[in-house]
A = this chain, B = another copy of it.
């Protein structure tokens, strides 16, 4: 059984590749909820939706986020009424937000996510990292901003000074995450190519998760979200630069601070990885332009984790 940790678009793409290869009982995808937010009174879970829509085959493959064939009558009518229009809400997508917000009055996010997955034909397990509210806050040269304010409204223009996660200290790791970490069938943990700081760190920082990981007997492999010193999608590289975190294999290894047993990096970064020790490397093409790329990268990553298992053996490599 594979535990995949994922954030937005890149994570969703690799998770989709893993889901193509692995049967439903052999994969669980735990998703960041740090960039969840409330907008127009609606609870929005961008990463959960990106992963769910992608696994359902309903995602907009061009944008990465949102639904294919989406329409925008709601958004146009909202603008006509003078409503806030900086966050794009498609007509179909609105059903997700409205129905989720409504159900959250009586159900936890994890139960709603399970139900939505079933309804949309997603057979693999997708679970939020926690059912408790965690909210990413960014310190910038223009003051503190809620993450989506910074990310979408301001398009990451302010210079980043730091990141914090309100609620993270008291948030309980989701039941799916805890049971996956305790599952004797667990064979590897795959950190998908999502933003290390904004998507993966919140998951790893949940109470007890680091402790459970330190006692793990399975390898942890990260697929780098960087290619040639740039992020494939999103602001990861800009953010890492501004926080003096090098956008290199060494930088990623250092960021994950002894957690990684293996790293999957792009050919463009092969030279940079030559001198790295303490972590196995798989050099391949990491850009996922289509389903074939997703499946191939997922397959290579799974093969790589098998070379590293069990962990005691890996320590001797």
Contacts and interface: CB of A to CB of B under 8 A. Distances in A.
Interface of A is mostly: helix
Contacts of A70: 73
A40 B101 CA distance: 8
Given A81-B95, A99-B40, A73 B71 contact: yes
A272 interface: no
A77 to B, nearest CB: 3
A78 to B, nearest CB: 4
Contacts of A289: none
Interface size bucket, A side? Answer: 20 to 34
Interface string A32-48: 00000000111000000
B98 A73 contact: no
A99 B83 CA distance: 7
Contact of A120 (B80, B95, B115): B80
B81 A96 contact: yes
Contacts of A120: 80-81
Contacts of A77: 67, 91-96
A76 B99 contact: no
A184 interface: no
A91 B78 contact: no
Nearest to A79: B95
A87 interface: no
A105 B40 CA distance: 10
Interface in A16-57: 40-42
A104 to B, nearest CB: 9
A86 interface: no
A253 to B, nearest CB: 41
Contact of A95 (B42, B78, B95, B101): B78
Nearest to A98: B40
Nearest to A75: B95
A114 to B, nearest CB: 12
B42 A82 contact: no
Contact of A98 (B41, B82, B90, B92): B41
A135 B92 CA distance: 30
Contacts of A98: 40-42, 74, 78, 83, 94, 98
A73 to B, nearest CB: 4
A95 B71 contact: no
A151 interface: no
Contacts of A102: 40-41, 83
Interface string A115-129: 110011000000000
Given A73-B91, A78-B98, A83-B102, 18 more contacts: A40-B98, A41-B41, A41-B98, A71-B73, A71-B91, A74-B92, A74-B95, A77-B91, A77-B94, A77-B96, A78-B95, A81-B96, A81-B116, A81-B119, A83-B95, A83-B98, A91-B94, A98-B98
